[in-house]
Amino acid sequence: MPHLAVADLTATYPGTDKPVLRDVSLQVEKGEIVSLIGPSGSGKSTLLRVLVGLLPPNSGSVRIDGEAVDYTSRRSLKNARDRLAIVFQQYNLFQNMTAMGNVTIAPIRIKGWRRPEVEADAARLLAKVGLADKHASYPDQLSGGQQQRVAIARALALKPEILLLDEVTSALDPELVGEVLDTIRVLAADGMTMLIVSHEMGFVREVSSRVVMMDQGSIVETGPPAQVFDAPETLRAREFVSRILRH
């Protein structure tokens, strides 16, 4: 049974009539890293938003370990949000809290977990993302790449089973991209299941178990990175790959 199974998912933004996701189906196995690529506006972010309940689907299904998520049920949605965590391009840390404070607030305040355990876990996570010496730093004392790594540690502090990353390096200066990609590599080596949206094609190729290419709300190609990048089967995939490889 796949860890995450999306079947025939269709979604439309409120106040519009054209679906931005059309019959999207994909599966992610435990420990897999699946990357979503495709042109701007193809629906990559929307798919992640639907998965975490930020946009209700019109039809189709999302299953986690075989259990269907009912996006109209608060209880089901809460359960899904316990299991999936999302990190966005804009990391939105609390400016008045240290790195440690940002990582520990939700586990303590929302989950009600005990502070000593939460802080020990946060220290482990901050070390994992390369910020062992930055517990007491406030966001404005950290670089963009460091802030994004705090945001990743913050997401992991809630112990998700699947991490969704939406262009987490896009807002960063080029010299800071590498350190965030290194953090994702560490999580990959740990066996974290991830669904990644990224424009860093070299990284996608290196780290992904599978690559899923979207265009105009649909999946147009899916396969191992070598197939999708070197020998795409569909015309739309070939066009996209030749366009990105020219840059």
Ligand X SMILES: Nc1ncnc2c1ncn2[C@@H]1O[C@H](COP(=O)(O)OP(=O)(O)OP(=O)(O)O)[C@@H](O)[C@H]1O
| Residues engaged in binding Mg ion (CB under 5 A) | 45
Q: Which residues of this protein are in contact with ligand X, per CB under 6 A? A: 13, 16, 20, 38, 40-46
Binder of residue 165, out of ligand X, Mg ion, none (CB less than 5 to 8 A by kind): none
Q: Which is nearer to ligand X, 16 or 95 (CB)?
A: 16
Q: Which residues contact 176 (CB under 8 A, 6 or more apart)?
A: 143, 144, 145, 169
Give the Cα separation of 217 and 176 in Å (integer): 31
Binder of residue 31, out of ligand X, Mg ion, none (CB less than 5 to 8 A by kind): none
Q: Tokens in use for 28?
A: 């992610």
Give the Cα separation of 84 and 39 in Å (integer): 25
Q: Which is nearer to ligand X, 46 or 193 (CB)?
A: 46
Amino acid at 22: R
Binder of residue 43, out of Mg ion, ligand X, none (CB less than 5 to 8 A by kind): ligand X
Q: At closest approach, how far in Å is the CB of 98 from Mg ion? A: 30
Q: At closest approach, how far in Å is the CB of 109 from ligand X? A: 28
Q: Which is nearer to Mg ion, 30 or 199 (CB)?
A: 199
Q: Tokens in use for 31?
A: 């420990």
Binder of residue 145, out of Mg ion, ligand X, none (CB less than 5 to 8 A by kind): none
Q: At closest approach, how far in Å is the CB of 127 from ligand X? A: 31
Binder of residue 41, out of ligand X, Mg ion, none (CB less than 5 to 8 A by kind): ligand X
Q: At what angle do helices 115-128 and 144-156 cross, to 10 degrees?
A: 130
Answer yes or no: are the C-beta atoms of 152 and 129 closer than 8 Å. yes
Give the Cα separation of 111 and 107 in Å (integer): 5
Q: At what angle do helices 144-156 and 174-190 cross, to 10 degrees?
A: 20
Which residue's Cβ lies closest to Mg ion? 45
Q: Which is nearer to ligand X, 61 or 216 (CB)?
A: 216
Q: At closest approach, how far in Å is the CB of 128 from ligand X? A: 27
Q: At closest approach, how far in Å is the CB of 199 from Mg ion? A: 9
Answer yes or no: are the C-beta atoms of 171 and 144 closer than 8 Å. yes
Q: Which is nearer to ligand X, 20 or 51 (CB)?
A: 20
User: Which of helix, strand or coil describes residue 117?
Assistant: helix
